Structure 1
Amino acid sequence: MAIGSFKGLYTFLDIEEIYGIDTSCLRKKVARGKFVIDEDIKKIGTTWIITEQAMVKNFGILKFEEYKDKNLKEKSQMKKINSKKFNKNKKSDSMNEKEEKVNDSWSSGVVKGLELKSFSF
């Protein structure tokens, strides 16, 4: 685990989602000394944080792997959706650019020199 990184750290709410274990049961395990404080788990404010290694050691790898796979699929789908949105916006921008070029007298070849415009203030 890298210093300053949250990768590999999970909250008790994450464990509840992954394994279906109520957070009160987890707090009881802490009170009974089932985890090594400041090595397996740490309390930050009112939130308990657990390392991935301690989580897998105490609750198993199967449900955790399913959870990771599910999250990867969801992230992949979100990237596809965002990519489609970006491409739609990109196309509309290029349409505006084409319209601007057509309306520009310089690029259309109508004006063969400098085009001066007057402004009123």
Structure 2
Amino acid sequence: MANGSFEGLYTFLEVAEIYGIDDSCLRKQVARDKFVVGEDVKKMGRTWIITEQAMIKTFGTLKFEDYKKKLEKKEKAEAKKLAAQMAKSKGSRSNNKVHNMNEKEEKIKDSWVSNEINGIELKSFAFNTNNSE
């Protein structure tokens, strides 16, 4: 078990879901010393956790491997769905922005061509370069 990592640790509720058993079964096994407390299992607050090794040793690998495959498929599907949503929203936003920019530019161009925009005519100006103040 790596320090600071929760990989390979499962709550009793997760184990119960994986193996189709009641989580009280696991607590009873702890009470009967089937697990080494502090090594195989540990109570954190009100939640019991178990190492992957202890879980497999006690309940086997078949259902656990099925669980991991299902979890992997679910994660891939969610990642694919998220990527599709991001691509869709990114594409529609940028297309709208380009469309709006082009539309504004066309209006400005048309206004200049048809002399609808009247600017202020600047006839003359002078800079004060006198630094003696």
TM-score after normalising by structure 2: 0.77
What is the alpha-carbon distance in structure 1 between the residues aligned to residue 27 and residue 88 of structure 2?
49
Q: Which runs of 5+ in 2 are unaligned?
A: 113-118, 120-133
- Given the two structures, how large is their TM-score scaled by the length of structure 1? 0.84
Any idea what the Cα deviations from partners look like across 1:11-56, whole Å, max 9, x if unmatched?
0001110001211111110000000000000000111000000000
Separation of aligned partners in 1, 2:76 and 2:85? 14
- 1:100: Cα distance to partner? 3.1
Q: Distance in 2 between matches of 1:92 and 1:108?
A: 22
User: If you compute each CA radius of gyration, which structure gives the higher value, 1 or 2?
Assistant: 2
Question: Is 2:59 the partner of 1:47?
Answer: no
Distance of 1:59 and 1:93 partners within structure 2: 51
Mapped to 2, the partners of 1:108 and 1:93 lie a distance apart of 21
For structure 1, the 5+ residue unaligned runs are 112-116
**RMSD (CA atoms):** 2.1
Q: Deviations over 1:49-69 (max 9, x none)?
A: 000000001100010000000
The aligned length equals 112
CA contact (8 A) 1:101 1:108 kept: no
* Structure 1 runs, 4 residues or longer, greater than 4 Å off: none
